[in-house]
């Protein structure tokens, strides 16, 4: 049986929806709180290898919008994205669910249902 980890922040509405869905399906998981536990470079690198850095940077979120234009413009590759995400984990698109064949980013019930057939 796979062990799943859901990465995010507890007060994020999308994270709450994902947790509710996982609980309703009785899928065991561990919750990793970016605010309290941070996120390390190795974890980010593995996600980027699987998904690409562009998927992980939440350019619609409040944290991104609060960054100055020069900081936003400097995010051009995996290295610059990792530096930003380590410094400001709230800029990572949420949630990230790890434990399946590849990480899932964001929450859509149909994507989770497809990842957990039966």
Instruction: Please pick, among 6, 8, 12, 112, the residue that the annotation labels catalytic.
Output: 12
Is residue 117 part of the annotated active site? The answer reads no
- Contacts of residue 93, defined as CB under 8 A and 6 or more positions apart, other chains included, come to 55, 56, 57, 58, 61, 105, 106
> Could you give the residue numbers annotated as active site?
12
């Amino acid at each position: 049986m796979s062990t799943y980890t859901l990465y995010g922040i507890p007060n994020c509405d999308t994270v709450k929806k994902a947790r509710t869905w996982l609980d309703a399906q009785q899928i065991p998981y561990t919750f990793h709180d970016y605010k309290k536990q941070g996120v390390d470079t190795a974890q980010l690198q593995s996600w980027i290898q699987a998904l690409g850095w562009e998927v992980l940077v939440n350019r619609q979120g409040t944290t991104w919008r609060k960054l100055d234009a020069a900081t936003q413009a400097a995010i051009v590759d995996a290295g610059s994205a990792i530096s930003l995400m380590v410094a400001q984990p709230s800029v990572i698109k949420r949630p990230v669910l790890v434990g399946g064949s590849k990480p899932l980013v964001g929450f859509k019930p149909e994507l989770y249902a497809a990842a957990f057939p039966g």
